[in-house]
Structures are given as structure tokens and as C-alpha cells.
Amino acid sequence: MWAVIKLNNNNIELFKSDLKKKIGRDFKLYSPKLSVQKFKKNKLTKVNFNLLDNYIFFFHKDLKNQNLQNILKFTKGLKYILNGFIESQNELVKFISKCKSSENEKGFISDNFFDFDLSKSYKFCSGPFSNEIFKILSIQKNKLKVLIGGIKTTINRKEFLYSPII
């Protein structure tokens, strides 16, 4: 059974070590990660960060057990456990499966994680067009035809990260 937990200041190592002392090694932790290219002082640098910030997924087969939940609540490094995880197992499993299937060979979420809608505008989150707004004209297998300002161009889907503008 999966739960979503929030750690204090992303202190995962303290949490892991205290949890191993209390319940052993019968648990799994999963935190989807992104690698983004950003311009900093006119240089392109890679920045790695957790997709969910200080939230991670915690798995234990006996998580329905109230005693285990109480042990978990008082583990060093844990801020809190999100409520409703028992009722949301299907959604949690689907999201984790989608994240894991979208990971590249280095363990980072790739671009196929995101779905595209031709009616929306997007903003580049990485690369030389960082923070530029664009519209998708057409989608091909590995390429996107986009309109940036008044310029039509084709970009490789796997080279950049983008987010929809709401």
C-alpha cells in the first residue's frame, strides 16, 4: 500500500535510517526527479530537483495497520502523512506507474510524461528558449512544430521541458 508523506527539509537520509531501525527494510520510497537545463549567467547549466518537492511516496504492505501508521508518524525527518491514502490507492498506483514508465536511463522524468493539447499555450522551462511562450502547431513522433512569437520552428521533444500556461 502506498502513502504520500512530507519530509522535513527533504531530509530523506535521516528518515530512512530511523525507519530502518523501527520497522526494518520492508519498505520502498519513491521520489520522481526532473533534470532541467537553465540559463544562469549566460551559461547553460543542468539543475536536478524532485518533481514533488518535499513529498515522497512510501510503500509498505501493512500500511493499513494503525500501529505501523503510529510508528511512521513519529519517525525522525517526517513532517506528516497525507490523509486519504487508503481510499486513493488506484490513483497513487497509476501516477507512480506513469512516472516510472516515463523515466529515462538516468532515472529522471522524460518529456513523454507530459500530454500535449494543441489548444493551449506552453512555456519553456529549460533550454535557450527558457521562459518563452509558444503554441504547438503539430506533433510528430519526436518533434514539435511550434510558433514562438511570430516564428515557426521545429524542436526536438526530448531536449526541452515545458509547462502549460493556464
- Residue finishing a domain among 110, 129, 155: 110
Residues 105 and 81 placed together within one structural domain of the fold: yes
Same domain for 18 and 56?
A: yes
pLDDT at 149: 87
| b (16+ CB within 10 A) / e for 10-36 | beeeebbeebeeeeeeebeeebbebbb
Range of the domain at 80: 2-110
pLDDT of residue 139: 85
CB 63 within 8 A of CB 69: yes
Same domain, 38 and 96: yes
Residue 154, C-beta contacts closer than 8 angstroms, at least 6 positions apart: 143, 144, 145, 146
Is 12 in the same domain as 32?
yes
Co-location of 8 and 89 in the same domain: yes
How many domains does one find in the chain?
Answer: 2
Q: CATH number of the domain that 19 lies in?
A: 3.30.70.940
| Mean pLDDT of successive 10-residue stretches along the chain, which has 166 residues | 90 90 92 79 80 91 90 91 92 93 86 75 82 88 87 84 77
Can you give the pLDDT at residue 79? Answer: 92
In this structure, are residues 5 and 80 in contact, taking their beta carbons and an 8 Å threshold?
A: yes
List b or e across 66-80, with b for residues whose CB sees 16 or more CB atoms inside 10 angstroms: eebbeebeebebbee
The answer to whether the CB of 48 falls within 8 A of the CB of 108 is: yes
Looking at the structure, tell me whether residues 50 and 97 fall in a common domain: yes
**Are 90 and 156 contained in the same domain?**
no
In this structure, the answer to whether residues 59 and 132 fall within a common structural domain is no
Residues 78 and 20 in one domain: yes
98 and 69 in a common domain: yes
Q: In this structure, what CATH number is given to the domain that contains residue 146? A: 2.30.30.30
Place of cell 506507474: 97
How far does CA 91 lie from the centroid of its chain? 15
Residue that terminates a domain, selected from 110, 137, 152 = 110
